[in-house]
Amino acid sequence: MANYSFVTIWRVEAPIDQIYDALRESLAWPTWWHAVTAVEQIRAGDAAGIGDIRRYTFKGKLPYTLSFDLEVDRIEAPTTLAGVASGELAGTGVWTLTDDGTRLTTVRYDWNVRTTRWWMNLLAPLAGPIFRSNHDFVMSDGLEGLTRLLGVRAISLRST
């Protein structure tokens, strides 16, 4: 299996609560995040949302989709959403939001995953940079969609 560690940072001119709410309501992502083709509820979590499992399907600029289930294991409103992925990608994802006190919110997404598709693992030594570029495309699309949804502007996008 090929391992990937992605860090994406968005700086958005919007209140932290608005951004947190948009990210928390992932069933609505396909309405504003074009690279997300589907999100479906697999299992409801507890009253706080811990244990919630949703299946996500993403389509980047490459000719394939990726689907995985994500089980929420941490919620700290309005600063943290985290979960464990299984399926075609397996690992962890953590959204961390910070507010500078002036309507500028920094959104950091840490995505540490490994691929489970045989062909992706086979191609990983050569295609790793292409997979990274595809991830960056998906996250850029998410930022564009979020700013459209909230009617705000993005200050910056950085991926490593």
User: What percent of the chain shows pLDDT beyond 90?
Assistant: 79
Options 3.40.50.720, 2.30.29.30, 3.30.465.10, 3.30.530.20; CATH for 3-25+73-159 is 3.30.530.20
Neighbours of 158 (CB within 10 A): 12
Give pLDDT, residue 102. Answer: 84
pTM of the model: 0.94
Q: Which contiguous run of DSSP H or E holds residue 75?
A: strand 65-76
Boundaries of every domain in the chain: 3-25+73-159
1 vs 132: which has the higher pLDDT: 132
Q: Which amino acid is at 159?
A: S
Give the contacts of 105 (CB within 8 A, at least 6 positions apart). Answer: 11, 12, 14, 15, 16, 19, 97, 98, 99
